Amino acid sequence: MDMSQNLLALCFSLCLAASLVHGNSSNERKPYIVYMGDLPGAEISVADEHHNLLLTAIGDESIARESKIYSYGKSFNAFAARLLPHEVERLLEKENVMSVFANTRNKLHTTRSWDFLGMTETVNRRLKLESSIIVGMMDTGIYMNCPSFNDEGYGPAPLKWKGKCVTGANFTGCNNKVIGAKYYNLDNIDPGFQENQSPADDDGHGTHTSSTVAGVAVKGASLYGIANGTARGGVPAARIAIYKVCWGGGCTDMDLLAGFDDAIADGVDIISVSIGGNPRKYFEDPIAIGSFHAMKKGILTSCSAGNQGPSPSTVQNVAPWIMTVAASTIDRQFRTALKLGNGMEASGLTISTFSPKKEMYPLTSGAHAANLSGNNYGNASACDYGTLSMDNVKGRIVYCLGDSGQDYTIRELKGAGVISSTGAQSDTALTTLIPATIVNLNEGHKIDHYINTTKNPQAVIYKTRTVKASAPALASFSSRGPQSITLNILKVGHVDFLAYIHIYCSLHIYVLKVCIRQPDLAAPGLDILAAYTRLATITGEPNDKRISAFNIISGTSMACPHAAAAAAYVKSFHPDWSPAAIKSALMTTATPLKIKDDLSDLGSGSGQINPRKALYPGLVYDNSMSSYISFLCKEGYNSTTIGLLIGGKKKYNCSDYKPGQGTDGINYPSMHAQLKTINSRISAVFYRTVTQVGYGKSVYKATVTSPKYLSIKVVPDTLTFTVLHQKQNFKVVVKGGPMPNGTQILSALLEWNDSKHSVRSPIIVFQPFYY
Ligand SMILES: *[C@@H]1O[C@H](CO)[C@@H](O)[C@H](O)[C@H]1NC(C)=O
Ligand SMILES: *[C@@H]1O[C@H](CO)[C@@H](O)[C@H](O)[C@H]1NC(C)=O
Ligand SMILES: *[C@@H]1O[C@H](CO)[C@@H](O)[C@H](O)[C@H]1NC(C)=O
Ligand SMILES: *[C@@H]1O[C@H](CO)[C@@H](O)[C@H](O)[C@H]1NC(C)=O
Ligand SMILES: *[C@@H]1O[C@H](CO)[C@@H](O)[C@H](O)[C@H]1NC(C)=O
Ligand SMILES: *[C@@H]1O[C@H](CO)[C@@H](O)[C@H](O)[C@H]1NC(C)=O
Ligand SMILES: *[C@@H]1O[C@H](CO)[C@@H](O)[C@H](O)[C@H]1NC(C)=O
Ligand SMILES: *[C@@H]1O[C@H](CO)[C@@H](O)[C@H](O)[C@H]1NC(C)=O
Ligand SMILES: *[C@@H]1O[C@H](CO)[C@@H](O)[C@H](O)[C@H]1NC(C)=O
Ligand SMILES: *[C@@H]1O[C@H](CO)[C@@H](O)[C@H](O)[C@H]1NC(C)=O
């Protein structure tokens, strides 16, 4: 595609976005968040500061008071208020205001998994420390009356816990497993949904993610007998604190920030956020802001990478202080088999909880079941809504081309089941409303032919069975890097960028920094069985009658809590490790994915977590606050902004922080470089520091595995450590000519090995992606 055209398109959308913010002269106040970095010193009352700021922007005492929605002030300094565009401008001029951004809605990134990861029920645990770990869940609430949250045998909440348990509609209280629960609905979205105004889980998502982290072992857990086994969380001794920030209409920025503000102050150890929105600048994004202040307090935030794969440049939640989690597959699939009257058998990936009541059912196809007296819109062969006749469908199994929600249509017409055929089969098994399965085009053609050539065609669809599958692979829906849209738009003047594009946009020249962030690692997120709410049906469909204590769902939403639990497990052995050290341990010990597609390397990070190995990584790539400061300096944030972010009286000056050494400017356990332009020569340098966390004396040697097009030098290639916690520096120099024709990505691997530990970092070089 023509690059200049794409830039023009991008430019238009930027200008359009700008005019929506600035050019809307509507008199209606809209909710905004005014973010001011860290808490001011003890001498200033946050609420007074907010009030005074609002007053100078609005100019009227009583309107200012009415406009304020919420003051955040436990863990960072911000408030939410209803503002007019010119008031937003006025607030942005204040020197203590870091950002003002419209309140937007984010989305949820909708039992064998722990065994597959090597975490058997008898895995070595430090139960005493594990039971003092509190995992904060930003989610849809929790359904307490569920065996996974039984607190039998648990002592009281750890002493550090300062949180609350709010009771209310369908939520009678917490226990020693779920020690805290709060809900936030600051702008009262969609009151029409009649959701419980309490921490009760009306959706199921929050119950599912919470039990994945820390549910107790429950025997005989299944979805109508499917996936029957013991369901349990990764750290069953740990405690859960739930922050309900998501509702039927989404998860607003205001609610998310309120959840973070409380969770950090309440004393959680790990935060799990299976939510994402459109990529934004770091400090206009509630998850990036919340997780930054969490990181400052030693709390690691695990986030889902998003479900927009396999397209590249779709990854979300990429701030380097976040653990960005992709979804991988486990060694189990849910297959639904069918049999025709002529004995032909086939199967596909769906979850059908129904056992057939008859040996065979009459079979027809969409083409034959068309409503001839109906309108001719739509495609009867694809069983489009409104194209079929109930007389022809009732009691029959219907064969349809394509696979777009036909179970819903055929159920309405009282059909007995659906066989769909598609050339683009997904790896994800979705729960169907009636007996249904999906076959490939070749099998579909045979079924169609059988229907056309047989007098009384018949078929039966069996209940879903689990089968073994090869794994791990990246789930097809898991979002891929790189993050292509800028996270930091700056006016021209900063020239130390690795890659930039000039865009002429309403007379201003902007430099778009092309961010090169990727998911960090992968964790199981495909077809995961975990606890569910009884306040919703298993498909969320109101006419579905099925309610179950356990449900099977997929998404990076399911991967994120697996990684959060793995982080909690590592923390229970190493309570003093920083969030960056824990993340590094999980990344450098991850298992590379076995099965790959073209863009897997941009989506799987270092591979699938291996929690037991992560306990003993040998070396870690740590990052202190000063590394993040130098990273932010490199990103173009200035001393004033960084001062606000960090708080305190200290003055920061980017020239003191050697900003931006090398290609990425941060001590990361993976290395990614995007070429400056398509087919330019490859040239990148990564500066790294590793900290020894293994044995006192050790010698690590570097081994690089790389395709012939890359020349990779590690300097020095031997690191000698004499004491624990010793640090050593090295650099990785990557060079090469233009990439071979048709190549988008080149992947290599750096491994430090002392013969007891293998510390792995992926090195990825890729062409720029333009849209
Ligand atoms: C301002 O924005 C609102 C909603 O975004 C829209 O309904 C309204 O028409 C806009 N007004 C103008 C003058 O553009
Ligand atoms: C509890 O949930 C049920 C089912 O969703 C609902 O009918 C009922 O009104 C709720 N109870 C309260 C007190 O909100
Ligand atoms: C699940 O498995 C257990 C033990 O194998 C068995 O007793 C139980 O009946 C099974 N439950 C279902 C619903 O299949
Ligand atoms: C066929 O379509 C017509 C027009 O939409 C509708 O009135 C009729 O009920 C349909 N017939 C059947 C059997 O579904
Ligand atoms: C109907 O839909 C199927 C599946 O999407 C497609 O292959 C077929 O070409 C469509 N037929 C018509 C007439 O549009
Ligand atoms: C079966 O018959 C339908 C309707 O006449 C037709 O659209 C379809 O192509 C036929 N399929 C095969 C495999 O012959
Ligand atoms: C720092 O950046 C902010 C926001 O971009 C800007 O308003 C401010 O003037 C800058 N300060 C300095 C000292 O450059
Ligand atoms: C930061 O330090 C540099 C070099 O030490 C100095 O020239 C500059 O004036 C300082 N900037 C600020 C804002 O203090
Ligand atoms: C690379 O591929 C393009 C289009 O496929 C072709 O035009 C070009 O000649 C190729 N270049 C080389 C060096 O093979
Ligand atoms: C690295 O160390 C591991 C032990 O953790 C050993 O099994 C492996 O063979 C070593 N690899 C290399 C390349 O030396």
Q: Hey, what amino acid is at 569?
A: Y
Does residue 385's CB lie within 6 angstroms of at least one atom of ligand 4? no
Q: Strand (E) positions, 201-321?
A: 218-223, 226-231, 239-244, 251-252, 270-273, 275-276, 300-304
Given a contact cutoff of 8 angstroms between Cβ atoms, the answer to whether 84 and 233 are in contact is: no
Tell me the ligand closest to 16's alpha carbon.
Answer: 1
Per-residue pLDDT, 491? 34
Which residues are near ligand 8 (CB < 6 Å)?
639, 653, 655
Closest CA to 281 of 32, 514, 488: 488
Which of the residues in the chain have pLDDT under 50? 1-24, 111-113, 485-515, 771
For ligand 8, atom 2, the nearest C-alpha belongs to: 655
Q: How far is the CA of 409 from the centre of ligand 6 (A)?
A: 21
Record the tokens describing residue 552, joined without a space: 């099977």
Q: How far is the CA of 93 from the centre of ligand 1 (A)?
A: 24
**3-state SS class at 536:** coil
Q: How far is the CA of 399 from the centre of ligand 6 (A)?
A: 11
Beta-carbon count within 10 A of 219 CB: 11
Q: Can you tell me the distance from the alpha carbon of 260 to that of 317, in angstroms, rounded to the nearest whole number?
A: 15
Record the tokens describing residue 209, joined without a space: 């993610």
Does residue 448's CB lie within 6 angstroms of at least one atom of ligand 6? yes
**3-state SS class at 403:** coil
Q: Can you tell me the distance from the alpha carbon of 222 to that of 527, in angstroms, rounded to the nearest whole number?
A: 12
Substitution candidate for ligand 10 out of 718, 753, 757, 761 with most atoms within 8 A of CB:
753
Per-residue pLDDT, 26? 62
For ligand 6, atom 2, the nearest C-alpha belongs to: 452
Beta-carbon count within 10 A of 579 CB: 27
For ligand 5, atom 13, the nearest C-alpha belongs to: 379
Beta-carbon count within 10 A of 131 CB: 23
Ligand 5 atom at minimum distance from 422 CA: 4
| Sequential DSSP letters for 644-701 | HHH-SS----GGGG----TTT-S--SSEEEE-SSTTPPEEEEEEEEEEE-S-SSEEEE
For ligand 8, atom 6, the nearest C-alpha belongs to: 655
Q: Can you tell me the distance from the alpha carbon of 156 to that of 165, in angstroms, rounded to the nearest whole number?
A: 14
Q: How far is the CA of 655 from the centre of ligand 8 (A)?
A: 7
Does residue 756's CB lie within 6 angstroms of at least one atom of ligand 10? yes
Q: Can you tell me the distance from the alpha carbon of 616 to that of 612, in angstroms, rounded to the nearest whole number?
A: 8
Which residues are near ligand 5 (CB < 6 Å)?
379, 381-382, 401-402
Closest CA to 469 of 429, 438, 497, 418: 429
Cβ-proximal residues to 12 (8 Å cutoff; 6+ apart), any chain: none
Question: Bridge-partner residues for 766, per DSSP?
Answer: 674, 745
Residue 270 phi/psi, 5° resolution? -140, 145
Closest CA to 311 of 1, 679, 741, 598: 598
Q: How far is the CA of 27 from the centre of ligand 1 (A)?
A: 9
Q: For the chain, give percent helix, strand, coil, nearest 5.
A: 25, 30, 45
Cβ-proximal residues to 175 (8 Å cutoff; 6+ apart), any chain: 144, 149, 151, 154
Tell me the ligand closest to 96's alpha carbon.
Answer: 7
Longest dimension (CA), the chain: 87
Q: Can you tell me the distance from the alpha carbon of 490 to that of 502, in angstroms, rounded to the nearest whole number?
A: 11
Tell me the ligand closest to 97's alpha carbon.
Answer: 7
For ligand 10, atom 12, the nearest C-alpha belongs to: 753
Question: Bridge-partner residues for 141, per DSSP?
Answer: none
Record the tokens describing residue 82, joined without a space: 């209803």
Q: How many residues does the chain have?
A: 771
Q: How far is the CA of 200 from the centre of ligand 2 (A)?
A: 10
Q: How far is the CA of 502 from the centre of ligand 9 (A)?
A: 27
Which residue is listed with tokens 């006016």? Answer: 491
For ligand 7, atom 3, the nearest C-alpha belongs to: 641
Q: Give the ranges where 505-608 is alpha helix by DSSP (H).
A: 556-573, 579-588
Q: Can you tell me the distance from the alpha carbon of 252 to that of 137, in angstroms, rounded to the nearest whole number?
A: 15
For ligand 2, atom 10, the nearest C-alpha belongs to: 170
Closest CA to 733 of 750, 748, 711: 711
Cβ-proximal residues to 132 (8 Å cutoff; 6+ apart), any chain: 158, 160
The catalytic site residues sit at 139, 205, 557
Per-residue pLDDT, 234? 96
**3-state SS class at 271:** strand
Per-residue pLDDT, 656? 84
For ligand 1, atom 12, the nearest C-alpha belongs to: 24
Tell me the ligand closest to 370's alpha carbon.
Answer: 4
Per-residue pLDDT, 25? 52
Q: Can you tell me the distance from the alpha carbon of 32 to that of 30, in angstroms, rounded to the nearest whole number?
A: 6
Given a contact cutoff of 8 angstroms between Cβ atoms, the answer to whether 546 and 352 are in contact is: no
Instruction: Convert the pLDDT of each residue in 353-383 to its tens digit.
Output: 999 999 999 999 999 999 988 777 889 999 9
Per-residue pLDDT, 630? 86
Q: How far is the CA of 712 from the centre of ligand 3 (A)?
A: 54
List the end-to-end C-alpha distance of the chain, in Å, as a whole number. 8
Cβ-proximal residues to 274 (8 Å cutoff; 6+ apart), any chain: 108, 109, 138, 139, 205, 209, 303, 304, 555, 556, 557, 558, 560, 561
Closest CA to 254 of 307, 303, 290, 282: 290
Ligand 10 atom at minimum distance from 751 CA: 13
Ligand 2 atom at minimum distance from 198 CA: 14
CA 242, 243, 247 angle in degrees (round to 5)?
115
Tell me the ligand closest to 100's alpha carbon.
Answer: 7
Q: Give the ranges where 174-251 is alpha helix by DSSP (H).
A: 205-214
